[in-house]
Amino acid sequence: MRYIPQLMFPSLRSHEYQMAFSEYAEILSRLYKGIRDVSGSQFIIDSTKDPSYGFILSAMQDVELHVVHLVRDSRAVAYSWQRKKRRPEIHWKEEYMPRYSPLKSAWEWGLMNGLVQLLGYTIPGRYTLVRYEDVVSQPREALSRLLAGLGITNPNLDFINDRNIKLSVDHTVSGNPIRFQHGVIEVRPDTEWRHKMSTPHRVIVSALTWPLLLKYGYFGK
């Protein structure tokens, strides 16, 4: 992340950094072109969450980057990071996802969302903010709006309705264990944090993230 200023402002790049960036960008370009040629798809969806990776793509000449910023209430995120979740991909031993304190979760949430917001400012017209709560309440409508923003009209959304979604097998390297689920899955909001998160933890996270909570329409909820 410390290199984001160099990605935003090429004049700040040293010769060594420019050489490394050019090599990395060339490799990424070959990768995406290969995916495009084999799949025949108009769009490639990259689920990478790291904002710095988005800044790399935005600095590449042959990539037209569109950012979908999926945000969730910081208090729900902090509560989720305290849950004990087993990693099913590590099948040869018992291992769990890392767990963060409310303080660390609040810091990470603010930093990550703030940087994605900054990335959106660098690509005007190609940034869309979507709230988790709106997606799970009306998934088909939310997806339709996203696709319309990309110029895709009358998409085939037979795999989803306002209650269920039919997923095929995903081939993702890392992420939440839910990514291994497939078939027909019920879509519903996870609101456990509202009645199980302790008051001190809620106060800490709210106090540290209130500017973005206000911006995203969560403040006071």
Domain-ending residue, one of 64, 95, 119:
64
Alpha-carbon span 96 to 87, nearest angstrom: 5
Q: How far is CA 86 from the centre of its chain?
A: 21
Domain-ending residue, one of 45, 64, 83:
64
Instruction: Clarify whether residues 217 and 120 are in a common domain.
Output: yes
How many Cα atoms occupy the beta-carbon half-sphere of 11 within 13 Å?
Answer: 0
Quick one: pLDDT at residue 17?
Answer: 94
Domain-ending residue, one of 25, 41, 64:
64
Quick one: pLDDT at residue 221?
Answer: 54
Domain hosting 18: range is: 1-64
What is the total count of domains within the chain? 2
Mean pLDDT of residues grouped by 10 in the chain (221 residues)? 91 94 95 94 87 93 92 95 81 82 95 95 93 91 88 86 84 73 87 94 95 88 54
Alpha-carbon span 165 to 155, nearest angstrom: 15
Instruction: Clarify whether residues 80 and 159 are in a common domain.
Output: yes
Instruction: Clarify whether residues 191 and 116 are in a common domain.
Output: yes
The answer to whether 185 touches 171, Cβ cutoff 8 Å, is no
Handedness of CA 36, 27, 2, 106 (dihedral sign): positive
Quick one: pLDDT at residue 220?
Answer: 58
Instruction: Clarify whether residues 32 and 49 are in a common domain.
Output: yes
Other beta carbons within 10 angstroms of residue 79's beta carbon come to: 22
Alpha-carbon span 57 to 68, nearest angstrom: 14
Report residue 50 as tokens. 């790291």
Instruction: Clarify whether residues 23 and 107 are in a common domain.
Output: no
Other beta carbons within 10 angstroms of residue 159's beta carbon come to: 13
Quick one: pLDDT at residue 161?
Answer: 84
Report residue 112 as tokens. 């990550």
The pLDDT tens digits of the residues spanning 64-91 come to 999 999 999 999 999 999 888 777 777 7
Quick one: pLDDT at residue 87?
Answer: 76
Instruction: Clarify whether residues 86 and 11 are in a common domain.
Output: no
Percent residues over pLDDT 90 in the chain:
57
